[in-house]
Chains A and B, each alone.
Chain A
């Protein structure tokens, strides 16, 4: 686990794959390490790279053999990102995700919980687009300091 904590998300290099919540299980037997991971977004192009990073980090740390297995259930949720990691995101300039909505009806009115600006802390912000530079982010603009910023979407 200590080794995996050094493997960062290539798109958000301040948090590790463990903090992101995608490492679901790790088993070690005679130098062979089996890691179970779950994808963030189904189309996330970074997943392959993350697998490779996990493999090479463990091999470098002395593992003789590494197996990375992908599972889809339970589906990843941003609720698995811990408090410490949320602070790291904020410090990096990305607003951390709110609580994920549990199912429910599709509504045209978007959630109105304001997303606080990670730069000045103001809650006077507006959503620019639900789709950002990567699958996991939405774009907001702060009305107070006029800074555009990313939000890690809650899913």
Chain B
């Protein structure tokens, strides 16, 4: 991918707001949200589906054979986790939609993934930094969910957590190797971090959905999760001689369906076969 794509990825965030609590003001398009628990599980599934698809775009383009295989493996794990979460979301919704229906037959505004996951791959540095930030968030999130009182969510979280541990080990090692590498690799990693950091705030938003599911037994201590994420990330970044920028404003919108323009392009590719042949099985 060209540098142009990368620049585009980090500069085209939609309206940056500090909170995802969007009031329904007359004359503005308010988010149309479903039942909180369904919304919450869709977020879990969509993060992994969209990032998994991005990772799969590297298949056949990896810098070395082992890395190509590693990225395809990680993509597979993420899509597998998405399949479980979306399957559960469909059951909870109770309208007969399965994981495939949710993945292939929803349009962009119905997707609930964090904006970070949909950003184009950019160069290898950008992809690995994005993966590292997501892995760190995902581990913190799944650890918390594995202990929550919703049995189905806890089971999927515990299962995915095992896989996320080696994802994070893999991405951390690249962050350190490249960050503390040559002048060129260091510069690319720092640039990736500068562009991506503003998308990490969305991971820890406490909005109407998280507040509502907390009352249903899926309460997460978001402050503690964020502190653990910062500790984990700061440690690796320090070893990598990288430092996060002082971003005062964090990008937001993905959780209520307000995405960057990149998601539509991704979905066009991801959904094309299923939409061209609805109902087909292979």
Do most interface residues of chain B lie in helix, strand or loop, or is the interface mixed? Answer: helix
User: Are B239 and A43 in contact, CB atoms less than 8 angstroms apart?
Assistant: no
User: Are A75 and B158 in contact, CB atoms less than 8 angstroms apart?
Assistant: yes
**With A41-B77, A74-B158, A135-B73 given, can you name 4 additional A-B contacts, CB distance below 8 Å?**
A41-B76, A42-B77, A101-B165, A131-B72
Check if A29 is an interface residue, CB within 8 A of chain B: no
User: Are A41 and B166 in contact, CB atoms less than 8 angstroms apart?
Assistant: no
B 49-72 contacts with A by CB, 8 A: 66-67, 69-70, 72
Q: Number of contacting residues on B, CB 8 A?
A: 38
Check if B237 is an interface residue, CB within 8 A of chain A: no
How distant is the Cα of A131 from the Cα of B165 in the complex, in angstroms? Answer: 13
| Residue from B70, B78, B173, B236 within 8 A of A43 (CB atoms) | B78
Do most interface residues of chain A lie in helix, strand or loop, or is the interface mixed? Answer: loop
User: Which single residue of chain A is at the shortest CB-CB distance from B160?
Assistant: A42
Check if A98 is an interface residue, CB within 8 A of chain B: no
Check if B162 is an interface residue, CB within 8 A of chain A: yes
Check if B169 is an interface residue, CB within 8 A of chain A: yes
Which residues on A sit within 8 Å (CB–CB) of B176?
A: 108
Q: Number of contacting residues on A, CB 8 A?
A: 29
Q: How many A-B residue pairs have CB under 8 A?
A: 87
| Residue from B66, B70, B81, B168 within 8 A of A106 (CB atoms) | B168
Which A residues contact B (CB, under 8 angstroms)? Answer: 39, 41-45, 71-77, 100-101, 106-108, 110, 128-133, 135, 139, 153, 155
Which B residues contact A (CB, under 8 angstroms)? Answer: 66-67, 69-70, 72-81, 83-84, 139, 151-152, 154-156, 158-160, 162-163, 165-166, 168-170, 172-173, 176, 232, 236, 239
Q: Which of B75, B155, B236 has the most CB of A within 10 A?
A: B155
User: Are B70 and A131 in contact, CB atoms less than 8 angstroms apart?
Assistant: yes
User: Are A108 and B173 in contact, CB atoms less than 8 angstroms apart?
Assistant: yes
Which residues on A sit within 8 Å (CB–CB) of B77?
A: 41-43, 135
29 of the cross-chain contacts (CB-CB < 8 Å) are A41-B163, A42-B80, A43-B78, A44-B76, A45-B76, A71-B155, A72-B84, A72-B152, A72-B155, A73-B151, A73-B155, A73-B159, A75-B158, A75-B159, A106-B139, A106-B169, A106-B172, A106-B232, A108-B176, A108-B239, A129-B69, A130-B70, A131-B69, A131-B72, A131-B74, A131-B170, A133-B69, A135-B77, A155-B166
